[in-house]
Structure 1
Amino acid sequence: MRDSSKCILCGDCVRMCEEVQGIGVLGFAHRGNRLAVMPAFEKKLSEVACVNCGQCASVCPTGALTVKSDVERVWKALADPDKKVVVQVAPAVRVAFGEAFGLPAGSIGTGEMVAALRRLGFHRVYDTSFTADLTVHEEFNEFLKRLEEGKKLPLFTSCCPAWIKFAEQYYPQYLKNISTCRSPQAMFGAIAKTFLSEELDVKRENLYVVSIMPCTAKKFEASRRELSYQGILDVDAVLTTQELIRMVREANLDFSKLPAEAFDLPMGMSSGAGVIFGNTGGVSEAVLRMAASKLEAKSQRFEFKDVRGFEGCKEAVITIGDQEIRVGIVHGLANAHKLLKTIENGQRKYHMVEVMACQGGCVGGGGQPLPNDSGRREARAKGLYQIDIQREIRCSNDNPFVERLYSQHLGYPGSPKAEELLHTHYTPRRRVDGEEVALVHAKEAKTKIRVCVGTSCFLKGSYDVLKALQDAIADKNLSDQIDLGATFCLEKCDNGPSIQVNDKSFSKMTPDKARELVASLEHSIKNK
């Protein structure tokens, strides 16, 4: 939410969005006393390519940018006698929650946080790390299949909703590479609404699922229609760590007098691998732990420190059994841009790539307590690794309650029931809306060419490219073999003019290149 009356025009949000996240939806507009920070054409943030990471709000010194609150909705649900309200808590929250009550950054406040949630009125308090363990089972199964088949590699992780929206907007060609696994938050919502409602003897629509997350983008994720059943969302409300702190204060709870209490079972038990999901590199390490456990006899490899650390882009080569696994880890979406370009250009090859939108991973999410600087993020990360070390079980496949969930309800990783509840799909999101214009329309053609005629490509000569393609297709009598049309954005503005042939993109096109392309397509078509 934006309140321009509080803005002091410092530009911190503009730099964060442009330089750190590589999105650039905020900028300075107008001059003199009309100078203001806003999206282009005075649009709402919901109407531009914002990925909902919340990092702009985390650096705003005056509160001109804040996260839309769901606190009142949750209070209302807690007061509703017809609803049973359950809550899940993400790993990164427990090492940041105590900061608001005088504890140093990274202090482990799990027990007091659970106690506070029960006193706020939540019926059950669960741990999202449980479904992080579940995610590891599904993602490892998916990764192993892709590795054996040599298809859809690298596998990109799918836990970060800001990264997913970023890919849908800027890199739709890689959507097929992203793991189909839902995030741990979304998996919990589906499991709770399907099975927990039966256990608690409550109708699905009266089971109210709340998430406590370090991440503002989780609010957007929870609203995605594909994460619902018969019109009922799997997760009803998402509160950030800051919002939880606000509720505790509104209830006048004395943090120093709260006892340490445990999560409710069965979805309150997790391995150390599930907990480190909150750190950059944590998802990769959790999957690698399971890989070592499954592929190496009597493996006790629980720590893969090569994937840890706060460098923006990291890579590691891990040998497990006879398999060499190349892993890329990136946090901060500007760094994701760089890494994806190297993959696209063939400079880097990986089997798995973990992407987190926020620097440091979830510990630095846009909903964490302020200040949210690098020192505090590193301290929080150390806190999660400390919890991991202290856990009796450190590998996701050793969690007995996850195994029980499979035996009683899901069957096995990748089963039809698991696919239904724990997996999803992604959809390209065009930044510029517009209808395609058919110029050489061949309904039955197997080759489809679309030329970008958006402003940037048009100014760089896309009309000449389009005309060259049209003439070449006519000269070679391919009008019934090639479907040629114009479109309004192919997300390649920096390298225009751009065209797309079926699923393959071509940039920096010229009329000569266009004619050469038609000649090569003619050769391919005739040899089929």
Structure 2
Amino acid sequence: DESTAALIRDPEKCILCRRCVEVCHQVQSVGAISPANRGIDTEIAPAGGVDLNDVACVQCGQCSLVCPVGAIYEQDHTERVWSALADSSKHVVVQTAPAIRVSIGEEFGLEPGQVSTGKLVAALRRLGFARVFDTDFTADLTIIEEGHELLERLNKGGTLPMITSCSPGWIKFIEHFYPEYLAHLSTCKSPQQMFGALAKTYYAEKTGIDPKDIYVVSIMPCTAKKYECGRPEMTDSGYADVDAALTTRELAKMIRLAGIDFASLPEEEYDAPLGISTGAAVIFGASGGVMEAALRTVYEVVTEETLASVDFKAVRGLEGIKEAEVDLKGTKVKVAVANGLGNARKLMDLIKEGKADYQFIEIMCCPG
């Protein structure tokens, strides 16, 4: 089943362990796949035997993460990237998400948790990318835009609570299960898509390169990013903002195929200007990071002071959800953070029942 933009299902490899069913139903509360038929005819599939793309799958990839035999895996974008790199008419640029600088090292035997930013940049240059940029640049732009949007909604009576919009699996979830609350989403694109739009408009203009000749590759920790870059509205320049999205293991495969000794690479820096960023963007990779960064922006705009810390506390009776309150010169802003779509569903049900008194909510599709 190759019907979705992000995932491939191969029932021939399936051992019926049901780990994918468990994570889809119990952790993500999506329920896109279930056991079907009986005895030796049992298989794991969407209800009614339809393709995965015909049910409410959010393409988060948690099923592929827990599958022990590779019966569900990501759509491979490496061939299209190799083709672009080999095409002399294409100016191929790459952006890397904050989480990649840690996870890529583990692929090559480095200590878990070790930051490998410099080696990552060096490896990408040796693969042939014309420019190596940092998604943190547009994460900073997202923070500024989202912070000011929250401020505008608070001051002008906009739709509240405002909910973050940078996790594509979460966006697909709300479109399927809570479409009546789409107005609550921030209007900001995700950092991945904001970068692609900038690369094919601002960067294209500054470098004098036709947007049709710029090929944008992103390295992301999330399979849903493959789905996001193919959404029809993501075409600010008239062309797709992002042309290909690679997972960490796809990039690792490319590095190995090229014969690059990752551990021996020198430390190199991102290219300017789209490689410059602040510490605020780095914490996007952690649950609560988007919220904290945006709140710091809002706090500084309103009070002209620096916010010391955001004191998040667990919400009693709701495991996986944290909340905090920030005082903006007398205006109390109550915020909540949830990771995993099962927790997102709890928050959305509270909003639906009129029991949520939050002004700002961050939701990340991935658990943890």
Same fold (TM over 0.5): yes
Give the % identical residues: 51
Q: Which amino acid aligns with 2:61?
A: G
Distance 1:201 1:345 in 2: 53
Query: Is the aligned partner of 1:21 residue 2:28?
Result: yes
Query: Would the aligned equivalents of 2:132 and 2:275 in 1 still touch at CA under 8 Å?
Result: yes
Q: Where does residue 328 of structure 1 map in the other structure?
A: 336
Higher relative contact order (CA 8 A, sep 6+): 2
Q: 2:310 aligns with which of 304, 309, 316?
A: 304
Contact 2:218/2:244 (CA < 8 Å) preserved in 1? yes
Which residue of the partner structure matches residue 98 of structure 2? 91
Show CA shifts across 1:106-150 (max 9, x none).
Answer: 210111000000000000000001101101111111111100123
Alignment partners' CA distance in 1, 2:364 and 2:319: 12
| CA displacement at 1:231 relative to structure 2 | 4.7
1:215 corresponds to which of 199, 206, 222: 222
Number of residue equivalences: 359
The aligned counterpart of 2:150 is 143
* Matched-pair contact (CA < 8 Å) for 2:314–2:320: no
State the secondary structure of the residue aligned to 1:253.
coil
Residue deviations 1:413-436 (CA, integer Å, cap 9, x gap): xxxxxxxxxxxxxxxxxxxxxxxx
Q: Indicate whether 1:174 and 2:181 are aligned.
A: yes
The equivalent residue for 1:456 is none
Cα offsets for 1:493-519 (capped at 9, x unmatched):
xxxxxxxxxxxxxxxxxxxxxxxxxxx
The answer to whether structure 1 residue 193 and structure 2 residue 197 are counterparts is: no
8 Å Cα contact 2:110/2:263 also seen in 1: no
SS of the residue aligned with 1:143? helix
Alpha-carbon displacement from aligned partner over 1:419-461 (angstroms, at most 9, x marks no partner): xxxxxxxxxxxxxxxxxxxxxxxxxxxxxxxxxxxxxxxxxxx
Aligned to 1:261: 268
Q: Distance in 2 between matches of 1:355 and 1:145?
A: 20
3-state DSSP of counterpart to 1:105: coil
After superposition, where does 1:19-58 map in structure 2 within 5 Å?
A: 19-58=26-65
**Counterpart of 2:283 in 1: which secondary structure?**
helix
Unmatched runs of 5 consecutive residues or more in structure 2: 1-7
The one-letter amino acid of 1:280's match is: S
CA distance in 2, matches of 1:154, 1:210: 33
Deviation at 1:61, TM superposition (A): 0.4
Aligned with 2:133 (options 90, 108, 126): 126
Aligned residues of 1:95 and 1:108 also touching (Cα < 8 A): yes
Distance in structure 2 (CA, Å) of the matches to 1:213 and 1:99: 15
Work out whether residues 314 and 323 of structure 2, in 8 Å CA contact, stay in contact via their aligned partners in 1: no
Instruction: Name the structure 2 match of 1:313.
Output: 321
TM-aligned CA deviation for residue 103 of structure 1: 1.8
For 1:344, the equivalent position in structure 2 comes to 352
Letter in 2 for 1:87: V
- Counterparts of 1:70 and 1:42 in 2: how far apart (Å)? 27
Cα RMSD for the two superposed structures: 1.6
Q: For 1:220-231, what aligned pairs fall within 5 Å after superposition?
A: 220-229=227-236, 231=238
Within the candidate set 67, 74, 79, 1:67 is matched to 74
TM-score w.r.t. the length of structure 2 is 0.94
Answer whether contact 1:280 1:308 (CA < 8 A) is retained: no
Q: Distance between the aligned counterparts of 2:26 and 2:144, measured in 1?
A: 36
Paired residue type of 1:353? I
